[in-house]
Amino acid sequence: MERDVFRTYYVNIYGEVGLGSGGHVSDWVVKLGGSVITCKDIPYCFRLDVMNNIAKQILRISEGSKVVLVHGGGSFGHYEASISDSSRTSRTSHSMITLNFLVNSVLRDQNIPTYTVPGRFFSMNAVNDVLSNGMIPVIFGDILANGMVISGDDITIEIARNGYKAIFLTDVEGIMNSDGKVLECVESTDEFPLIDSNVSDVTGGILTKVRKILEAGINAIIANPGDENILRITSGIRVGTRVGKCD
Ligand SMILES: Nc1ncnc2c1ncn2[C@@H]1O[C@H](COP(=O)(O)OP(=O)(O)OP(=O)(O)O)[C@@H](O)[C@H]1O
Ligand SMILES: C=C(C)CCOP(=O)(O)O
């Protein structure tokens, strides 16, 4: 019989002992970071290959767990929102709906029953309504009519506060120190530097993400989706960086 690494006993990232996908079933909120589903330095560049790979993994985990997806703005929303003129709100809104269409198209190709909840309409009631009708909510970072940007990170954190375990997917393997080494766990933003980047990010980038996770008092994993990393994380295997209490 073929050995399935995702069905072995584990002491998981949250310190629980379980039986992989056959044991305790968790609810997961997965933030598809704009840095990984788009090329953040090239406007409107969607990473189809990466999204395909993410979709395959989401299909597998959704067979045994409740899953909620959120995606960020990348070189769609952040690019448009960074240009300040009278059409900023309309352009940014349109860019996020375009990105959401692309994300959903790939998920739908894998026969994943998605249902979009734009960030402007996000509430836990809306999420629960989609789930109770047998679909996977796909929420996106958004812009309100008054020009206020809603970060997908905040939405992800709010869902995590409602009992879901959070995974933030990025284009890097995790939080890196000044030598480029991926840290296993961080519990303060003082533990790592901001590595130079010249991409647009109107919601604050990695430092704000980590600060908000810590302030919310939740645990989250920041990792690259890789070929199987989402499956590994949801099976309790340590991947990327854990943000939260490090004991
Ligand atoms: N010390 C660091 N460790 C890890 N990543 C870092 C660090 N400093 C800067 N970064 C950058 O942070 C980026 C990830 O944060 P970012 O906020 O862009 O994520 P995201 O959630 O994928 O984006 P979006 O807001 O578009 O959804 C990486 O692309 C990386 O280059
Ligand atoms: C830039 C916009 C419109 C959404 C931002 O969401 P985030 O990338 O999750 O912070």
Say how far apart CA 176 and CA 173 lie, in whole Å: 8
Residue from 78, 80, 144, 167 to probe ligand 2 pocket by mutation (most atoms less than 8 Å from CB): 78
Answer whether 171 contacts ligand 1 (Cβ < 6 A).
yes
Residue from 191, 194, 206, 207 to probe ligand 1 pocket by mutation (most atoms less than 8 Å from CB): 206
Token pair, residue 129, equals 């309504």
Residue 57 lies in a domain: yes
Which residue has a Cα nearest atom 17 of ligand 1? 205
Q: Which domain holds residue 223?
A: 26-243
Give the per-residue pLDDT at 25: 74
Overall number of domains in the chain: 1
Residue 105 lies in a domain: yes
ipTM: 0.98
Instruction: Tally the residues of the chain.
Output: 247
Residue 1 lies in a domain: no
Q: In the chain, which residues have pLDDT < 70?
A: 1-24, 197-198
Tokens 């002992």, residue located: 17
Give the per-residue pLDDT at 200: 77
Give the per-residue pLDDT at 6: 41
Longest alpha-carbon distance in the chain: 62
Whole-number Å distance, alpha carbon 229 to ligand 2 midpoint, is: 23
Give the per-residue pLDDT at 28: 98
Residue 3 lies in a domain: no
Please report, for the domain that includes residue 126, its CATH number.
Answer: 3.40.1160.10
Ramachandran area for residue 206 (φ above 0: left; ψ -120 to 50: alpha; else beta): alpha
For residue 175, the one-letter residue type is I
Give the per-residue pLDDT at 18: 36
Say how far apart CA 11 and CA 236 lie, in whole Å: 7
Residue 2 lies in a domain: no
Q: Are 113 and 91 in contact (CB under 8 A)?
A: no
Give the per-residue pLDDT at 8: 35
Name the β-bridge partners of 67. 28
Residue 18 lies in a domain: no
**What pLDDT, in 10s, does the model give residues 160-211?**
999 999 999 999 999 999 999 999 999 999 999 998 766 778 988 999 999 9
Residue 16 lies in a domain: no
Bridging pattern class, strands 241-243 and 220-223: antiparallel
